[in-house]
Structure 1
Amino acid sequence: MTTCTEVVTSSDSYKDIMPRTTKINYGIGDFGNNIIWHTMGIWLAYFYTDVYGLSASHVAVMYLMLRIFDAITDPLVGLLVDRTRTKHGSCRPFILYGTIPLAITFIMLFYTPDLGETGKLVYAYVSFSLLTLAYTLVNVPFSAMAGFLTRDSDERTMLQSFRFGLGMLASVFVSYSTLSLVGLFGQGNDQQGFFYTAVVFALLIVGCLYYCFFTVKEVYPAPALKNDEKMGLKDLIGSIKEAFNNQQLVILFLGNILFFIILTLKATPTVYYVKEVLIDAEHMMTTFITWGTVGATLGAALSGLMWTRFDKVRAYKILMFVCGVLTAIPYWLPGDAFSSILILGTVVSFLSLSMVPLIWSMLSDVVDYQVTLTGKNMSGLFFALFLFTLKVGLGVGGALALWIMGETGYVANIAQQTPEVVESINFISTLLPGILFIVAGMIMMFYTLDKEKRAEIKLKLYGE
């Protein structure tokens, strides 16, 4: 197998082209990460309300509270990555030692203890908090590792395209298999079914992340720490302030907080949307979810091929507005227009997930831009802050959806919801995310690291 190191040390290293095997192996790691992300995005809210037995309002508050916890842990882990120098590199040690705790806490998340309402709520907070911490310890360095694999902006886009293309295959797998596995393991007991399904998923998570660890090496090691960089946690606030002096990071940060809120806002009520808004479509649940994830997978996988021939920044901005319009249209369609809604949803999934590799590629560009401003490589902290935007999306998007449903009177496991509940589910699944897409697109109009600017940065840093 050809390794990254062999390519970079060859005489033609200036092209900085990674072998395809490296991109695939990195993507396999994200297959494991995305099993967690997609299971939480699609099934966790439904599990908590209709299987575990919590109220939608309680779940909404929990989602928000745990994002406050993330606000502390994400930058801490990012700072730790920036201060780590080992024989395995700066990022890979976290994957090595964090994968098993991540798998265990994922299993804990879908265990239903034999406790009263208060005890179950406490257990949900504890297990969700532990998973959040473990996910941070693995995913922040995993994401930051991309910046240590190549310095070429287009190659970064291709790398992220492979990453999210293979990662989204996990979404297809989770979408297609979850209900079948729950039925197989539970035999009518959904609590038992979800638990053993989580065990199977956890084994896959471990296999994928360890495969990535052993097959992907950090090609460009972080430079030795200077004396003034060997700092403790007391300097974290100063580092964050320095990061946010980078205006392009702030714009990317704000735009993508909204972007990830949108994705979660659309994903969280999917099960409820099929059950309550679409007419006689509950038996098509797996089909509806799977088609969306197939579209998303193709979008992520083809992103590099579609958008590297153009300026990825311009493409990203246009896609925001297009997705906004297409997302909102189903709000006005009748509930029996299943085929039309399915097609529109699949197209939006394709386009919106084709943007995700562009986002992470742009973040690596902003890291380089920061080096030109301050002389410091703050990759770990930047990716930690950016992963925080993703988790804010999971928290705020999920909490907002569940809060609206709870306030309008959603009750789990009843034959028919009120018209107000059905309307609220339709609104948070279509019109609201459509509006937010437009707002995010307007914010990103102020992002200026276009193709010409990126070429200037690369020339200044690497003389290429």
Structure 2
Amino acid sequence: MKNSVLTTRLSYTASEVAGQLIFCVVSFYLLKFYTDVYGISAAAAGTILLLARSVDAIDAPLWGILFDKTHSRWGKSRPWFLWLCVPFAFFGVLTFVTPSFGAMAKVIYAAATYVVCSILYTGINTPVTSILSALTGDTHERITLTSFRMFGSKLGVLIVNLTVLKMVTWLGRGNDRLGFMLVMPMYACGTVLLYLLAFRNLKEVVTSEKHRLSIRQSFAALHGNGPWFIIFFSSFFFWIAFVSRISAAPYFFQYVLRRKDLISVANSLDVISLATIVLLPWFCRRFTKRTVWVASLAGAIVSQVVIQAGVAESSSAIVMTGWSLGFLTSGVAMAIPFSTLSDSVDYGEWKRGVRAVGLLTALGAAFCLKAGSGLGGALPAWILSWYSYVPNVEQTQRSLHGIELSFIWLPALCYALAAIPVFFYYRYECLELRIRKELEQRRSMATAISSSV
């Protein structure tokens, strides 16, 4: 039993590493890749990022409905690891291929490859979240599995940030276009292998309806689902904050702090969030989830203020302190929604009798992640364009102000907006034990009736 639990935890970790090997490069470096490597204007790059997120407004619920209709010998969520890993990896590579097109053709190519990559990421990442409710019915084990998942996320981010720019420089020999084209297939191979490992080892043991849910039934699980709406709005603003921060970071360290050498180091510090993520199960046993959640977002706001103090003092040490504090606190705020989403699935089943795990997780996790990430990338790009940013030259005071606005105050505002709905979560958190017991009774009765027929 212990080996089975450990295998499940490690395989769940692998599923997140798999996605991050490509998605981390997109989140951290795509905006700067578009403007400084492929030669697309900041305004056009921002529009591409937002376009992909607008498509997600359509494809996320469609994926969710498709997942709810999935009924295979492997379950509802697990088979998608097998079916989508190769297409996702392939388009992840194409997103960083740079054909020598004209200006407009470049924009069209970049938009097309990124949009398809984004759609496929929604399709393969949503099952990573939705399968959690099927792996166990224990809310505490779900938090533990989420911690393992976040470990995988941070491990993937660390691997990418420690290697990607160095490998691009080394393999490209000064030609970053060539470097990215050679590096991305390596990450893509790792992505495919790890998704296949997760597919092989993860098992769906908490069964939902055997029949395929209709669209109307899936959406019925949203009606009156208060915890889900809290998770949705908080996650949406969180991802705007988090991604705008990391998207603007290369510009900030190169032009404001004048420490381009710190970019890879700074992004690699994302791994220190594991210090708080591994303690998440302990935090949630000692305090309410709401308290832990709000405290983490408040800490993220404070981190941005510390960075501003570092800018005012022209101190790299203070800036890096604030930057590190931001990762420590935001890691918890990133992790909690993934576990609470499974609880909202239980809530929907308890209240409406419908376990729409696909739709609820597609909208609550994938849509928020993708829409928030898109705006988190687009808003800094538009701010840079508005403040007359020109790549690879000495920046004016106006453009430097735009970089600071994108990097410091936009994330701080969105972290604050993410905290507001969380204050109302406790009323639903109090119901979790009751919901779990009543659902177990319902399932036992349903099994007994089915056996007697």
* TM-score under structure 1 length normalisation: 0.91
1:259 to 219, 235, 238: 238
1:368-383 matches, cutoff 5 A:
368-383=346-361
Alpha-carbon contact 2:306-2:318 (below 8 Å) kept: no
Does the residue aligned with 1:31 lie in a helix, a strand or coil?
helix
Structure 1 residues 35, 449: CA separation in 2 closer, same or farther (over 3 Å shift)? farther
1:136-175 matches, cutoff 5 A:
136-175=122-161
Question: More deviation in 375-384 or 330-339?
Answer: 330-339
2:287 is aligned with what amino acid? F
Question: More deviation in 402-411 or 241-250?
Answer: 241-250
- Does 1:333 pair with 2:319? no
- The separation in 1 between residues aligned to 2:41 and 2:429, in whole angstroms, is 49
Does the residue aligned with 2:279 lie in a helix, a strand or coil?
helix
- The separation in 2 between residues aligned to 1:299 and 1:345, in whole angstroms, is 15
1:315 is aligned with what amino acid? V
- The separation in 2 between residues aligned to 1:242 and 1:284, in whole angstroms, is 46
2:301 is aligned with what amino acid? G
1:397 to 353, 376, 381: 376
1:255 is aligned with what amino acid? S
CA shift, 1:244, in A, is 4.6
CA shift, 1:318, in A, is 2.0
- The separation in 2 between residues aligned to 1:200 and 1:53, in whole angstroms, is 24
CA shift, 1:173, in A, is 0.8
Question: 1:415-460 deviations in whole A, cap 9, x for unaligned?
Answer: x111111111112211221222122212211223555321121122
- The separation in 1 between residues aligned to 2:170 and 2:236, in whole angstroms, is 38
- Does 1:352 pair with 2:333? no
Structure 1 residues 58, 241: CA separation in 2 closer, same or farther (over 3 Å shift)? farther
* TM-score under structure 2 length normalisation: 0.93
Does the residue aligned with 2:74 lie in a helix, a strand or coil?
coil
Q: Gapped runs of 5+ residues in structure 1?
A: 5-18
- The separation in 1 between residues aligned to 2:86 and 2:158, in whole angstroms, is 24
Alpha-carbon contact 2:222-2:228 (below 8 Å) kept: yes
- The separation in 2 between residues aligned to 1:52 and 1:389, in whole angstroms, is 28
- Does 1:122 pair with 2:99? no
Q: How many residues align?
A: 440
- Which residue is equivalent to 1:12? none
Question: 1:228-272 deviations in whole A, cap 9, x for unaligned?
Answer: x3x3xxx36x74365153222222211111011111111111111
1:67 is aligned with what amino acid? R
- Which residue is equivalent to 2:224? 245
- Which residue is equivalent to 1:201? 187
- Which residue is equivalent to 2:35? 49
1:40-189 matches, cutoff 5 A:
40-189=26-175
1:406-417 matches, cutoff 5 A:
406-414=385-393, 416-417=394-395
1:216 to 181, 184, 202: 202
Structure 1 residues 147, 242: CA separation in 2 closer, same or farther (over 3 Å shift)? closer
Among all aligned residue pairs of Structure 1 and Structure 2, give the percentage whose two residues are the same amino acid: 27
Question: 1:126-154 deviations in whole A, cap 9, x for unaligned?
Answer: 10111012112211122201110011111
Question: 1:22-47 deviations in whole A, cap 9, x for unaligned?
Answer: 11111111001112222111110010
Structure 1 residues 65, 185: CA separation in 2 closer, same or farther (over 3 Å shift)? same
- The separation in 2 between residues aligned to 1:269 and 1:215, in whole angstroms, is 38
- Does 1:299 pair with 2:276? yes
1:317 to 256, 269, 294: 294
Alpha-carbon contact 1:313-1:449 (below 8 Å) kept: no
CA shift, 1:462, in A, is 1.5
- The separation in 1 between residues aligned to 2:131 and 2:105, in whole angstroms, is 39
Alpha-carbon contact 2:307-2:320 (below 8 Å) kept: no
Alpha-carbon contact 2:171-2:179 (below 8 Å) kept: yes
- The separation in 2 between residues aligned to 1:88 and 1:241, in whole angstroms, is 26
CA shift, 1:223, in A, is 2.4
Question: 1:377-417 deviations in whole A, cap 9, x for unaligned?
Answer: 01110010021011111111111011000110011111x11
- Which residue is equivalent to 2:367? 388
- The separation in 2 between residues aligned to 1:241 and 1:377, in whole angstroms, is 10
1:198 is aligned with what amino acid? M
CA shift, 1:191, in A, is 0.2
- The separation in 1 between residues aligned to 2:279 and 2:398, in whole angstroms, is 40
Question: More deviation in 40-49 or 449-458?
Answer: 449-458
- The separation in 2 between residues aligned to 1:222 and 1:113, in whole angstroms, is 47
Q: Gapped runs of 5+ residues in structure 2?
A: 443-453
Alpha-carbon contact 1:105-1:130 (below 8 Å) kept: yes
Structure 1 residues 364, 217: CA separation in 2 closer, same or farther (over 3 Å shift)? same
2:107 is aligned with what amino acid? L
